[in-house]
Structure 1
């Protein structure tokens, strides 16, 4: 059904086979059935999360109940579809997954760019920026780093120049985007 709707489909004999290749796959949506050979769909979803593989997961089952659906959604599934399902339901779920994938890719790209931009900062400039990102005033940053408030101002001006930003809010956006990357 997905192939005839224009999607490239790759299927696997079981969840274990999929997990062997999951890291090397092109970004896409993952459709998992609750009942699969060797390892069930929720266990595959859990393994993806543990490995940091962030792909949109759609769980489908002919044996669903509320606790299963809650467990799948808490683990990050974007949809839980019960069989038999209408073609439109699965297509809508896959389209939603690809929208999320595009948004996540955009966020990841911005995070990577931000991390690269921060590499031009000296360790002390980075410490000052971290203090600013935590909402600390210059005097507190100075005290924490055992430097004068004037030195904090000099580092702040230098980091803004190196990052090629005009305002503190622009510098903070870069710092927060890089933090998002570190959390992924």
Structure 2
């Protein structure tokens, strides 16, 4: 028998939440219902999965995940709405959602989501924790320190970075030391790992990069 999980339902109207809850209970899982994000944060879930819909999604998945992270909530998030567009689903998954369901929920959709939680939920939550932590650290960098990190991630030496940025190697050393200190990185590999965990594009526009350096591919780290 499939392992029972707790599914936290937030957003939408009371009728929609009740319908979702009844289906989830009928399938043998436990349902917790919250009227809005404030109530969810006030009673933070520590396991299972969150299904968010309607008003809770209005500001975007990234903002919602940031709000949950600020509250120390790393429970996997699933977005839900009637007739989602393919582009919406792709953007939600890239932003950090575990899945995207169509409302009203069907038995097959819930079973598929539960299977996804069992197979990837823990790994997904840990990856999201690393992503948020990495982005917060990187956001503390100055524009020049961020450029040094971007070129370091491409495998450039201090001399190569100096040539690309048209500054002296000594200046690169200073920016690099400050960057490492802000990131809490002991080695270059630690800084590069944070940059990759953050899944961020270059600080500069990709079209301005030298041709011999390929920009990180969009979506390269978004596999579920």
If the TM-score is normalised by the length of the shorter chain, which range does it land in? Answer: 0.5 to 0.7
The equivalent of 2:197 in structure 1 is 177
In the TM superposition, 1:44-63 aligns within 5 A as 44=84, 46=86, 48-49=88-89, 52=92, 54-56=97-99
Residues 126 and 3 of structure 1: CA distance in aligned 2, closer, same or farther (over 3 Å) = same
Cα displacement (A) at 1:19 = 7.0
Q: Distance in 1 between matches of 2:32 and 2:84?
A: 18
Shift of 1:112: 1.3
> How many residue pairs are counted as aligned between the two chains?
140
Secondary structure of the 1:8 match is strand
CA distance in 2, matches of 1:153, 1:181: 23
- Corresponding residue of 2:11: none
State yes or no: 1:113 paired with 2:133: yes
CA deviation digits over 1:12-70, x for unaligned, max 9?
A: xxxxxx9745726993486x9xxxxxx7xxx53625415526342579xxxxxxxxxxx
SS in 2 for 1:52: helix
CA distance, structure 1, for counterparts of residue 178 and residue 84 of structure 2: 48
Q: Structure 2 residue aligned with 1:140, among 160, 180, 202?
A: 160
Aligned-partner SS, 2:92: coil
* TM-score when normalising by structure 1: 0.57
Q: Unaligned regions of 5+ residues in structure 2, if any?
A: 1-22, 34-51, 59-63, 65-75, 203-218
- The alignment's C-alpha RMSD in Å is 3.9
Q: Aligned to 1:121, what secondary structure does the other structure show? A: coil
Q: Which residue of 2 aligns with 1:35?
A: none
Deviation at 1:154, TM superposition (A): 2.2
Return the structure number with greater helix share: 1
Q: Distance in 1 between matches of 2:189 and 2:113?
A: 36
Taking a change above 3 Å as real, the CA distance of residues 23 and 102 of structure 1, as seen in their structure-2 partners, is farther
Q: Which residue of 1 aligns with 2:25?
A: 3
Q: Which runs of 5+ in 1 are unaligned?
A: 11-17, 33-38, 60-82
Query: Aligned-pair distance for 1:170?
Result: 0.7
